[in-house]
C-alpha cells in the first residue's frame, strides 16, 4: 500500500513436501536456496524419517501446528457441514486462541532474516498455509486484491492433490465426509475471511496483537520481505 513490493523468491507456499524426490530436494537446496522449512501440520501427520532427511540435506525445520484441539472427527465434520464456504471455516478456526498464537509463532520465524529463503506448508498448501499467507501479506501492507490472487493460485492444482490422496488407501479416508467446498479456493472466501477479521478485531495487526504479537514484529516482517 505504500509503494513497496514483496521481495521475489524469498517465501514459498507449498503443499506437503514428503513426496519430493532426491532431485526435488536438490532443487530446493541449490536452485531456490531454501534455508528453512516451516511445517504447519499436526505432529501426528509428521514423519520423523522425513524430518531427518530434511535436516540431513541442510534445511532448518520448524513444526508450528495450526490446529484446534478438543474436537473429534465427528464433531469436526458436523461443524464443517454447517458452513457453506471455506472462508467461514477460516474465520471459525482463526478465533481460537491456540490457533492465533500459533500464527504469531510462525510469523516470528518469518521475521528472522537468517531463515530465508523459506518454504511453509501444510498438507494441501491451501488452507492453513492460505490463512497464514493472507495474514502475513495483509500485515505487511499488501493490497487485498493481491492477497486474494495469491490464495486462488491453489485452484489450478488442487485436483492433482485430491487425485493423489484418493489413489492411496492410507490417505483416501481423510476425504470421507468432507463437504465439497473444502476442496475449493474461491476469491469470495478469502475476501470473507479478511473482512471478518477486520470486523472482529479492527485490523489484521490488531488480530495478531490479540494473540500475543509484539509491535516490533511488524517492522521486522517488513524489513525482511519488502523492498
Q: Looking at the predicted structure, is the pLDDT value of residue 137 above 90?
A: yes
Q: Greater confidence, 38 or 163?
A: 38
Q: Greater confidence, 205 or 59?
A: 205
Has residue 71 been placed in a domain? yes
Has residue 58 been placed in a domain? yes
Into how many domains does the chain fold?
A: 1
Has residue 221 been placed in a domain? yes
C-alpha 85/C-alpha 224 separation (Å) is: 34
Given this model, what pLDDT does residue 219 score? 98
Has residue 2 been placed in a domain? no
**Domain that includes residue 187, residue range:** 11-225
* Chain segment 57-88, per-residue pLDDT in tens: 888 999 999 999 999 989 999 999 999 999 99
Has residue 187 been placed in a domain? yes
Given this model, what pLDDT does residue 187 score? 98
The answer, as to whether pTM is greater than 0.85, is yes
Given this model, what pLDDT does residue 84 score? 96
Indicate which CATH number applies to the domain containing 42. 3.90.190.10
Has residue 5 been placed in a domain? no
Sign of dihedral through CA atoms 17, 20, 26, 31?
A: negative
Has residue 217 been placed in a domain? yes
Q: Looking at the predicted structure, is the pLDDT value of residue 44 above 80?
A: no
Written as one string, the DSSP assignment of 23-76 is HHHHIIIIIS---EEEE-S-GGG--HHHHHHHHHHT-EEEE------S--HHHH
Has residue 3 been placed in a domain? no
CB 227 within 8 A of CB 8: no
* Chain segment 167-177, per-residue pLDDT in tens: 888 888 888 89
Query: 36 has which bridge partners?
Result: 60, 118
Amino acid at each position: 500500500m505504500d509503494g513497496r513490493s514483496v521481495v521475489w523468491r524469498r517465501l514459498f507456499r507449498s503443499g506437503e513436501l514428503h513426496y519430493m524426490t532426491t532431485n526435488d530436494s536438490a532443487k530446493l537446496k541449490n536452485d531456490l536456496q531454501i534455508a528453512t522449512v516451516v511445517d504447519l501440520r499436526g505432529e501426528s501427520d509428521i514423519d520423523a524419517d522425513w524430518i531427518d532427511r530434511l535436516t540431513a540435506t541442510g534445511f532448518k525445520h520448524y513444526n508450528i501446528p495450526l490446529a484446534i484441539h478438543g474436537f473429534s472427527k465427528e464433531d469436526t465434520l458436523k461443524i464443517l457441514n454447517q458452513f457453506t464456504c471455506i472462508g467461514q471455516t477460516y474465520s471459525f478456526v482463526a478465533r481460537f486462541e491456540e490457533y492465533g498464537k500459533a500464527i504469531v509463532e510462525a510469523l516470528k520465524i518469518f521475521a528472522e532474516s537468517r531463515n530465508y529463503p523459506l518454504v511453509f506448508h501444510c498438507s494441501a498448501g491451501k488452507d492453513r498455509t492460505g490463512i497464514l499467507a493472507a495474514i502475513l501479506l495483509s500485515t505487511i501492507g499488501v493490497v487485498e486484491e493481491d492477497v486474494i490472487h495469491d490464495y486462488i493460485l491453489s485452484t489450478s492444482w488442487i485436483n492433482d492433490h485430491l487425485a493423489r490422496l484418493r489413489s492411496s488407501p492410507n490417505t483416501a479416508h481423510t476425504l470421507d465426509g468432507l463437504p465439497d467446498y473444502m476442496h475449493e479456493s474461491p476469491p469470495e472466501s478469502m475476501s470473507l475471511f479478511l473482512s471478518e477479521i477486520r470486523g472482529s478485531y479492527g485490523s489484521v495487526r490488531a488480530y495478531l496483537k490479540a494473540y500475543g504479537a509484539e509491535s516490533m514484529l511488524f517492522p521486522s516482517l517488513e524489513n525482511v520481505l519488502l523492498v
